[in-house]
Each structure stands twice: as structure tokens, then as C-alpha cells.
Amino acid sequence: GLAVGMRVEQVLLVLLAACMVMPAKDPLLNICMDAKHHKTTPGPEGMLYKQCAPWKDNACCTANVSSEAHKDQSSLYNFNWNHCGVMPPKCKRHFIQDTCLYECSPNLGPWIEQVDSSWRRERILHVPLCKEDCEEWWEDCKDAVTCKDNWHKGWNWATGTNRCPWGSVCRPFSEVFPHPKDLCEKIWSNSFKYTTERRGSGRCIQMWFDPAHGNPNVVVAKYYAWQKRSSPARQQNVTAATGQAVRAVPWSVLVLLPLALVVFPEGTRGWGSL
């Protein structure tokens, strides 16, 4: 009976010690960025509109935001896709999908960066976009027309919506963005990064996916979150995060562990036999 009691005490101590080193919730996973229309935390939505529907089970956007993302003159940012004439539907659907990914995805944490802006506190930077997504975007938009290669800034907003700046010329996408890489990386100030990784590789973010097979970007976010934590440049942050994890341990564990060591001193002997 005494031996069994000691063994139980030892197991309890091991479990308590394990709780001390368990990491807190990964701050890079399943989160929403701090931006204009994003929810504070991701969660299910009863219904998301059309191209935003794949995220309905766990989204950073609301149904209203998903609906606005599909309008030519959206109230989200007063941005006009048709600033150089009507954008072809096959091209526009990529920009709608891009907007859905940005507004709805909870899997962009590894690429969220702080930003000093009047309309958002965070943005995404260098999200590795799958080769097919980028190249199909360029192929379907190469005959569309625009006057700028960076749509984040430099517009004439005098009328309340974006117009081409004075002196600019409307040209085909294929001239403004000679290659798929140019389109994906330049158009939103390097929000995306062109990669040679393919859909299903677990190494690139997909703008398009079939929710019936799950969200492939969950695995991708986990991989890059691990990679980000493992890089030498992040070691200091990892140390800080570990400290936060220890501080996050319930008070009962912090109290019970030293108490157990006092009450059951005999139980701490012979741990090597466990």
C-alpha cells in the first residue's frame, strides 16, 4: 500500500512538473489581425457570401464583410476595381478571393506585422502564395487594365474613391506586371510572396480551396509558425514566450507543486524508476 501510494505521488509530481513547461496557446496560430474590419477572434459564421464561404466554419470576417467584398464599389475601403474601365469578371474573381483571404482567414498569423496606419494596426507581409494561385491570377488578369503597380498607395482620393493619379496612363496588366511574381508581390506592397511551392505541399498559402476537404492553410500556418520560432533571430522572443507560458500556468499548479514536495518528501526519491 505504501509503495503504491508513493508511486501515485510520484506520478502526480511528474504531471505537475509537466504542466509547468507546457507552452501557452501559440500566438501565431488561429488569430485575426488587428485591422479595420476583422473580428477580435476567429469563430464560426452561419453563412459567408459566395467566394468567402470556405471560411464559414472559422472566420475572422462577418457575413456583412463577406458580402461587401464582392461589390464593385465596396464600402470596406471605397476601392474601385474599375478605375481604368470595367475589370473582366474572370480577373475580378481573383481580387474578390484575395479580399476574402485577407478579411476571413485565421491562418495568416506567421506573417502579421505591426504597422503605423490610420486604418489598421497590423498587416500581412510576405505571405508565401502557392504557385498556381499566383499564376492563375496573372493569367486571368493579363488583359485587364490599370494605371499603377502598387494599389496600396498613390491614388487620387479627391472624390472619395480611388482614381488614377494625374499623369498616369492606363495599360494592360501584362505591361504593368510582366510576370506573375510582379503582380503578386507588388500590387499590395509585398503582402504576398511568389513561391514555386504548389497547392497541397503544406508550404504555401492557398487563396482557393474546397472546404469539403478541410482548410489546407491550417497546416501551412503551423509549419511557418514553427519555423519562425526556430530561427536564431527569434530565440529571444521564444525565451520571452516561454516565460509568458510559465506565468500562464494556473495558480493552483504553482501552489501545489512546492506543497507536494514538502508533504511527500519520500515520494520524490527514486524518480529514475518511473
Structural domain count of the chain: 1
According to the model, what pLDDT value does residue 169 have?
Answer: 94
Alpha-carbon torsion (194, 83, 172, 175), positive or negative? negative
Amino acid identity for residue 190 in this structure:
N
The answer on pLDDT for 147 being more than 70 is: yes
Pick the range with the lowest mean pLDDT from 13-22, 37-46, 130-139: 13-22
CA distance 17 to 253: 9
Question: Between residues 136 and 263, which one has the greater pLDDT?
Answer: 136
Domain membership of residue 175 (yes or no) is: yes
pLDDT in tens, 47-60: 888 998 999 999 99
Nearest to 173 by CA among 187, 153, 194: 187
Question: Between residues 175 and 24, which one has the greater pLDDT?
Answer: 175
Domain membership of residue 27 (yes or no) is: no
Please indicate, yes or no, whether the overall pTM of this predicted structure exceeds 0.75: no
The answer on pLDDT for 26 being more than 70 is: yes
Amino acid identity for residue 235 in this structure:
Q
Domain membership of residue 236 (yes or no) is: no
Residues 77-87 have a mean pLDDT of 89
Domain membership of residue 114 (yes or no) is: yes
Domain membership of residue 254 (yes or no) is: no
Pick the range with the lowest mean pLDDT from 79-88, 119-128, 139-148, 172-181: 119-128
According to the model, what pLDDT value does residue 208 have?
Answer: 87
According to the model, what pLDDT value does residue 46 have?
Answer: 80
Instruction: Answer yes or no: are the C-beta atoms of 19 and 236 closer than 8 Å.
Output: no
The answer on pLDDT for 75 being more than 80 is: no
Domain membership of residue 258 (yes or no) is: no
CA distances from 57 to 42, 44, 61, 93, 251 (A): 9, 4, 11, 22, 34
Question: Between residues 118 and 67, which one has the greater pLDDT?
Answer: 67
Pick the range with the lowest mean pLDDT from 15-29, 120-134, 258-272: 258-272
Angle at alpha carbon of residue 184, lines to 142 and 132, rounded to 5°: 80
Alpha-carbon torsion (155, 61, 27, 134), positive or negative? negative
Please give the grid coordinates belonging to residue 266. 519520500
Task: Give residue 153's domain range.
Answer: 34-230
Question: Between residues 21 and 136, which one has the greater pLDDT?
Answer: 136
According to the model, what pLDDT value does residue 122 have?
Answer: 86
CA distance 92 to 100: 12
